[in-house]
Amino acid sequence: MALVSSKEMFEKAYKGGYAIGAFNVNNMEIVQGITEAAKEVDAPLILQVSKGARAYANHTYLIKLVEAAVIETGLPICLHLDHGDTFELCKSCIDGGFTSVMIDASSKPFEENVELTRRVVEYAHDHGVVVEAELGALAGIEDDVNVSAEDSHYTRPEEVEEFVSRTGCDSLAIAIGTSHGAYKFKPEQCTPNEKGILVPPPLRFDILHEVEKNLPNFPIVLHGSSSVPQDYVKMVNENGGAMPGAIGVPEDQLREAARSAVCKINIDSDLRLAMTGTIRKFFREHPDKFDPREYLKPARANIHELVKHKLVDVLGCAGHAHELSNG
């Protein structure tokens, strides 16, 4: 069993009305928490590495951790570069064993985005690697990606067909109201429900459906799709943290998106919250402890539970790993 590309995963997800979870990895505990959950529920998986993760943990460490997860779980796992911003970075990941890369030139003018994406696609396809590109700009901060609300804009459905046919990209990330980070919506944008929980404005499904019509059978990707579980925000805040007003995308919206052309949903902030909340709580309850294994173990266990919930209840991809030809 080796790393796989996302090609067959997306074909099956498109037909099956579910989405593959793409989770960001930075260290061993995160890799283990995610992949053990996926194994438990037989889910195909995309593990993604950002430029920041590569700078933090080093390419070789990350790739060997992911390879270890493939050996330990026997799962089909795709290793993806998240938000590659240059040809050189994409090339280095392709040469270094990644099976999928994203070239994000969405902040550039249309023609420049086409040009750079096409160049990466040419190199990637020559090496059996698939490419995700992006049209539209999501607001928010994630590692090196920082787009202000004023600079963000929704994907224009009238541009997608030309973009995909000219670039040859294999999947397309679009902007329909999701955003990076743990502060996706301001409280004043939200309406409280009967339980007093703030509900953000809905995603722009009208744009998604237009895109779907213009690109039949083509896999769409949603970035910035953490739901920012309020239990973990509370855990952070009750144990010395300060994250007031952190709000994410409701899970029912993501479930609806997963039934459509959306084949890949990116989740990172929720894992960060689960890990940080758990470790903060542990430290407050056990100020005398200093063995990293003692606080990383419950953090890994909570990442496992969170990812399992996403795979089963939100993405709908549980039970589908064995259907892949290499699954």
- Among the listed ranges 86-94, 105-113, 215-223, 310-318, the one in contact with Zn ion (CB under 5 A) is 215-223
* Contact (Cβ atoms closer than 8 angstroms) between residue 103 and residue 84: yes
Stretch that binds Zn ion, among 44-52, 73-81, 220-228, 236-244 (CB under 5 A): 220-228
Beta bridge partners of 262: 220
Q: How far is the CB of 105 from Zn ion (least distance, A)?
A: 13
Q: Does 308 bind Zn ion (CB under 5 A)?
A: no
Tell me if 261 sits within 8 A of 160, measured CB to CB.
no
Nearer to Zn ion, 223 or 308 (CB): 223
Beta strand spans in the chain (E): 20-24, 45-50, 77-84, 100-103, 130-135, 140-142, 145-147, 171-174, 191-192, 198-199, 220-222, 262-267
Binding residue for Zn ion, selected from 51, 54, 80, 223, defined by CB under 5 A: 223
Q: By C-alpha distance, which of 37, 22, 59 is closest to 306?
A: 37
Indicate which residue of 42, 82, 170, 231 is catalytic: 82
Least distance from Zn ion to the Cβ atom of residue 178, Å? 9
Active site (annotated) includes residue 82? yes
Cβ atoms of 134 and 173 closer than 8 Å: yes
**Closest of 181, 289, 318 to residue 245, by C-alpha:** 181
Contact indicator for 309, 36 with CB cutoff of 8 Å: no
**Angle ∠(18,207,221) on CA atoms, nearest 5:** 40
> Residue 82 CB, nearest distance to Zn ion (Å)?
6
Contact set for Zn ion, span 179-208 (CB under 5 A): none
Task: Give the shortest CB-228-to-Zn ion separation in angstroms.
Answer: 15
Q: To the nearest whole angstrom, how small is the minimum distance from the Cβ of residue 32 to Zn ion?
A: 23
Of 160 and 296, which has the nearer Cβ to Zn ion? 160
* 102 exposure class (CB count in 10 Å sphere: 0-12, 13-18, 19+): buried
Q: Which is nearer to Zn ion, 30 or 321 (CB)?
A: 30
User: Contacts with Zn ion: how many residues (CB under 5 A)?
Assistant: 1
Report which residue type is found at 200. P
Of the pair 29, 132, the CB lying nearest Zn ion is at 132
Stretch that binds Zn ion, among 12-20, 37-45, 63-71, 216-224 (CB under 5 A): 216-224
The region that residue 97 occupies, defined by phi over 0 for left and psi between -120 and 50 for alpha, beta otherwise, is left
Nearer to Zn ion, 81 or 235 (CB): 81
Task: Provide the minimum distance between the beta carbon of 83 and Zn ion in the complex, in angstroms, as a whole number.
Answer: 6
262-284 burial, b at 16+ Cβ within 10 Å, e below that, comes to bbbbbbbbbbbbbbbbbbbbbee
For Zn ion, the closer CB: 36 or 134: 134
**Interaction with Zn ion in 39-78: which residues (CB under 5 A)?**
none
Min CB(265)–Zn ion separation in Å: 11
∠ CA 202-277-298, nearest 5°, is 120
Alpha-carbon span 191 to 189, nearest angstrom: 7
Considering the complex, state which of residue 77 and residue 139 has its C-beta at the smaller distance from Zn ion: 139
Q: Which residue has the closest beta carbon to Zn ion?
A: 223
Active site residues: 82
Binding site for Zn ion (CB under 5 A): 223
